[in-house]
Structure 1
Amino acid sequence: MEVESALEILHSIKLADIMPSIETMPVVTADTDIINVLKILRSRHHVWVVDDRENRELVGVIRYLDVMDLLLPPEAHRFKLGMTSNTMRSILGGATRAGDVAERQVLTIEEDATVLDALMKMRKYRIQVLAVVKDGKLVGEMSLRILIDELLRLLRVGGAQWKR
């Protein structure tokens, strides 16, 4: 299959058809101890925070780069203009649970959206992963890595050559 044809197919795929199962995703509840979140972030780029495992209402996300805020002392945050809310995101500032430090402004996309919809949103907001939701509940995620894997699968790369 040619790259152009593969991309056309990729763009039309519904997210629900290629997103990983929720069981394989890094998901914690809002009351999860911050140390357990750090253990997950050693090997993942983000952790989704939900209210509870059954309901899975999305509370927020903790990204790998957010660890800097966790490790800095509270006074280090005060030097950033307009970033005083991060003071409480520090372990020394009193953060003990995932819900204390989760970024609540999470970019989401509905599960019936297409890959093209997801790519457009990722580019617009310059992010690499979106929370996939249904009725406000976390049902999956979509990342650039997943999209790359799907394109390579469509091209049957492994033995097949790309045609231009």
Structure 2
Amino acid sequence: MTGVEKALQTFYSMKLSDIMPPIISMPIVTLDSPIVNVLKLLRTRHHVWVVSDRESMKLEGVIRYLDVMCILLPPETTKARLGNISAVFKSILGGAEKAADVMERNIMTIDEESTVLDALTKMRRYKVQILAIVDENNTLKGEISLRLLIDEFLRLIKVGGVQWTQHGSSSPWE
């Protein structure tokens, strides 16, 4: 088994709870947070988690960076069709005022005791790049993103001293 294969095996078996960032560093708002607060966070983040309140941290939804278009556009620019009627009301001009009005309720989640391999598999299956990490009560515990997984893999290779040279390439991978 090569160094890279060993590194990957270690990487795949890592628990998400061991590599997720501290919850204090995550973009989180409550259901009643004004849309302006959400937009301020989305200037520098790709998503914002929506929880019922800061005490329980029960996960209710997510607002993604691309959702800002629906928030800012007038409602008449959104075609109301079956399954998409709620997008009309996600506009500020359509009456949206709080995070609860614009959040996506269908959230991809994963258990905090899951492994990196579990997360990668779920991300690929559902074509998402970020998962909310929750416990059995749907309490937000953290997040795991493809970017965090890439960083962790690169850290693991560096710490393990693994040199990975891509086949067919004249330069080493760094």
TM-score, with normalisation over the residues of structure 1? 0.94
Partner of residue 74, structure 2: 73
Partner of residue 115, structure 2: 114
Higher relative contact order (CA 8 A, sep 6+): 1
Q: Relative to structure 1, is the Cα distance of residues 120 and 160 closer, same or farther in structure 2, using a 3 angstrom cutoff?
A: closer
Quick check: which has more Rg, 1 or 2?
Answer: 2
Partner of residue 53, structure 1: 54
Offset of 1:85 from its aligned partner? 1.1
3-state SS of paired residue (2:164): coil
Contact 2:4 2:162 in 1 (8 A): no
- Among candidates 146, 149, 161, match of residue 148 of structure 2: 146
Please give the root-mean-square deviation of Cα atoms over the aligned residues, in Å.
1.7
User: Quick one: distance in 1 between partners of 2:59 and 2:80?
Assistant: 30
Matched, 1:20 2:21: yes
* Matched residue type, 2:128: I
Runs of 4+ in 1 over 4 A off after TM superposition: none
Aligned length: 163
Partner of residue 106, structure 2: 105
User: Quick one: distance in 2 between partners of 1:12 and 1:161?
Assistant: 21
Structure 2: segments with no counterpart, 5+ residues: 167-174
* Matched residue type, 1:9: T
Offset of 1:83 from its aligned partner? 1.3
Offset of 1:7 from its aligned partner? 1.1
C-alpha distance after superposition, 1:5-32 (max 9, x if no partner) = 2111110001000000110000011111
3-state SS of paired residue (1:109): strand
C-alpha distance after superposition, 1:52-105 (max 9, x if no partner) = 011000010000000011011111112556411111101100001111111000
* Matched residue type, 2:76: E
Structure 1: segments with no counterpart, 5+ residues: none
Contact 2:80 2:88 in 1 (8 A): no
* Matched residue type, 2:79: R
User: Quick one: distance in 2 between partners of 1:69 and 1:163?
Assistant: 44
C-alpha distance after superposition, 1:100-148 (max 9, x if no partner) = 1110000100000000000000000100000000121000000001100
Q: How does 1:89-104 map to 2 (within 5 A)?
A: 89-104=90-105
User: Quick one: distance in 2 between partners of 1:34 and 1:154?
Assistant: 39
TM-score, with normalisation over the residues of structure 2? 0.88
User: Quick one: distance in 1 between partners of 2:72 and 2:39?
Assistant: 11
